[in-house]
Structure 1
Amino acid sequence: MNVSKNAEKLNEVSLFRLYLLRGLYLFIVVGLAIVRWPDVIQQVFFQEKPWELMEGVVISMLTAFSALLILGLRYPLQMIPLLLWELVWKSIWLLVVALPLWTAGQMDESTWAMAYKCLFVIIVPFCLPWRYVFTHYVKKRGDRWR
């Protein structure tokens, strides 16, 4: 019994860390609500002109992302995979696209703007409860296949 209680205690996430996660979710939700939701609302109600393909993809994905992150305010641990997705895709973009352009001195204005937006991802690793992530997403046995 003591062994299982000690194991559970190691896997617990502090209340401070839960509020830190909630704060991160709120920060992202509010930021995207200010930047992206007006685009969606304008498109739905006023339909001035159709979005270009990639513009529509980006706005739709970011809006869906922010809508799902609202659930993180209530279920901060269950929505961690969304934060991991955000951390991974922005890190890949910064390393594979921005860094080579920067080192070659070929960053244009739009690439700098995107890099600046992606650099906000630096706060995500500080908010994630890494012990919980390791225990639940790396160490834990996966679901059965059959």
Structure 2
Amino acid sequence: MPVNPFVRFFTPDPRHEGVRPVQLWGLRLFYFLMLVFVAPSAWRGLLTHAGAWDPVRAVAIAVWATYPALALFGLFRPLRWLPLMFFTIGYKTIWLAFVAWPLWRVDMLWGTPTGDVAGSFLALPLLAAVVPWGYAWRMYFAWPRKVVNR
């Protein structure tokens, strides 16, 4: 009896070390969104800037231009480029905690440029949901298991 393709989309795939196809396609979607929405504005900022750079702003724009450019590789190898997702989740979480949260607590966030950025970061839970955390733990955070020869 053939397996329903919808069910297979949510079933761990042994070909991808137990990662569900929905997670792989979710990762690809976020890599694609980085390319479409972040890369153009970051590269426009780099290429059209005139005059001396503020060094800290220049670093921020350079990072913003680099990480979506790397997302191109994630479209083809989503699990290999998972650290890019860790970076994205990390910086957005830190920014929301230290920049947006204090303003939100005193009702001064929405209707400001900071609120606009915070709004664009509200997809963070969706991004975290497509990360295959079990795979990430095994590949990037857990100590390698020692192989015992018998």
| TM-score between both structures, scaled by the size of structure 1 | 0.75
Structure 2 unaligned residues grouped into runs of 5+: 1-12, 146-150
| Residue of structure 1 equivalent to 2:103 | 101
- Equivalent-residue separation in structure 2 for 1:16 and 1:102 (angstroms): 33
State the Cα distance separating 1:63 from its structure 2 match.
Answer: 0.3
Match of 1:4 in 2: none
Equivalent residue pairs, number: 131
- Determine the C-alpha separation between the residues in 2 that align with 1:18 and 1:105: 38
- What's the CA shift string for 1:7-56, capped at 9, x where partnerless? x949322333222211110111111123212222324xxxx323323321
Q: Which residue type is aligned with residue 20 of structure 2? A: S
CA distances 1:43-96 after superposition (whole Å, capped 9, x unpaired): 4xxxx3233233212111110111111111121101111111111221122123
TM-score by length of 2: 0.73
Paired with 2:95 and 2:31, the residues of 1 have a C-alpha distance of 21
Aligned to 2:44: 38
Give the CA deviation at 1:123: 2.3
* Structure number having the greater helix percentage: 1
Aligned residue identity for 1:24: F
Q: Distance in 2 between matches of 1:55 and 1:41?
A: 14
RMSD: 2.4
Contact 1:22 1:73 survives alignment (8 Å): yes
Letter in 2 for 1:53: P
Gaps of 5+ in 1: 1-7
CA distance in 2, matches of 1:86, 1:52: 23
Is residue 22 of structure 1 aligned with residue 24 of structure 2?
no
Q: Percent identity of the aligned residues? A: 27
Higher mean Cα deviation, 57-66 or 17-26?
17-26
Q: Per chain length, whose mean CA-contact separation is higher, i.e. which structure has more relative contact order (CA < 8 Å, sep 6+)?
A: 1
